[in-house]
Amino acid sequence: MRIKKEFLRFRTAPYDDAGQKIEPEQQPVQKVMEIDAPASMRGGPAVGSIPTQVIQEMSVGELASAMRKPCFSCKHFDRRAWKLLVARWNSPNSPVEERQYLNMVRAGLLQTKNADIVSKSTGTDGDMDVEHALLMLGICRTLTEVQNAPIIVHPTGACPAEVCTPTQPDGFYQPKTTKAERVGSQTYDNIIRTAQGKTIAP
């Protein structure tokens, strides 16, 4: 699968099918990914590709919240700890189940349909460099402590919905710098303004 382009498609009018006004955060948005999907004859080897779109639907609020607080800007994101763990799991002396688990992570990266992950780890042949993508991951120290097991996250990921509550809307996210906090707030505002049909702030 070759990812060619990824973009967001916003609703052009802030009304639902019944004509009721929708708040910007509640408006639907589509994350569209254009790919070249492999084509084969009756289950045989690939003989070409077919232009295809993969569409993920969500609300503007969900999208803006996720992009406001990405893992890479959180103080709990620990890439160094992950690299040390990879080195340990890769060791010939490590238990078989640990090496198998690492291979499962590699397989998950190879099967991802996230254009951002693929584009940041594209090799010279145009395909994903899975070892590069592997080392871009990190460990969430807080989720790891809660689950009592290494919780591996991608830098563009966000806190899972189950740890985001009315009293803790950002989950465990804590910006590691004031600059990260400002950038996150501006990203959120820009997405909401786009949903409102307004000009994005510079």
User: How far, in Å, CA of 195 to CA of 148, rounded?
Assistant: 40
Mean pLDDT along residues 5-29: 76
Same domain, 74 and 168: yes
Q: Going by C-beta distance under 8 Å and a sequence separation of 6 or more, which residues neighbour residue 111?
A: none
Cα–Cα distance measured from residue 14 to residue 26, given in angstroms and rounded to the nearest whole number? 9
Predicted pLDDT of residue 60 = 84
Same domain, 114 and 156: yes
Q: Which residues contact 141 (CB under 8 A, 6 or more apart)?
A: 76, 77, 78, 81
- For residue range 19-37, list pLDDT tens digits in order: 777 788 888 887 776 766 6
Q: Are residues 47 and 108 in the same domain?
A: no
Between CA 131 and CA 105, with CA 80 as vertex, the angle to 5 degrees is 35
- Distances in whole angstroms, Cα of residue 54 to Cα of each of 29, 110, 200: 14, 16, 26
Does residue 180 form part of some domain?
no
Residue 120 pLDDT > 80, yes or no?
Answer: no
Judge if 60 and 75 occupy the same domain: no
- 49, 77: one domain: no
Examine the pLDDT at 47 and tell me if it is beyond 60: no
Q: Which one is predicted more confidently, 55 or 149?
A: 149
> 96 or 18: whose pLDDT is higher?
96
> 3-state secondary structure string, the chain?
CEEEEEEEEECCCCECCCCCECCHHHCEEEEEEEEEEEEECCCCCEEEEEEEEEEEEEEHHHHHHHHHCCHHHECCEEHHHHHHHHHHHHCCCCCHHHHHHHHHHHHHHHHCCCHHHHHCCECCCCCECHHHHHHHCEEEHHHHHHHCCCCEECCCCCCCHHHCECCECCCCCCECCHHHHHHHHHHHHHHHHHHCCCCCCC
Mean local confidence (pLDDT), 80-104:
92
Higher pLDDT, 195 or 52: 195
Same domain, 74 and 158: yes
**Each residue's pLDDT tens digit, 129-153:** 888 889 899 999 999 999 999 999 9
Average pLDDT over residues 121-128: 69
84 and 163 fall within a common domain: yes
The total number of structural domains in the chain stands at 2
pLDDT at 160: 86
Structure tokens at 136: 């871009």
**Does the global pTM surpass 0.75?**
no
For the ranges 22-31, 62-71, 176-185, the one whose mean pLDDT is highest:
176-185
Give the pLDDT score at 44: 59
Query: Do residue 167 and residue 75 come from a single domain?
Result: yes
Give 93 or 198, the one with higher predicted confidence: 93
The yes-or-no verdict on residue 114 having pLDDT over 70 is no
Looking at the structure, tell me whether residues 53 and 92 fall in a common domain.
no
Task: Tell me, yes or no, whether 169 lies in a domain.
Answer: yes
For residue 75, is it within any domain?
Answer: yes
Range of the domain at 52: 1-64+191-202
Residue among 116, 120, 126, 113 at smallest CA distance from 53: 113
Mean pLDDT score across all residues of the chain: 81
Does residue 181 lie in a domain region?
no
Q: Is the pLDDT of residue 1 over 60?
A: no
* pLDDT number for residue 126: 65
Q: Are residues 1 and 90 in the same domain?
A: no
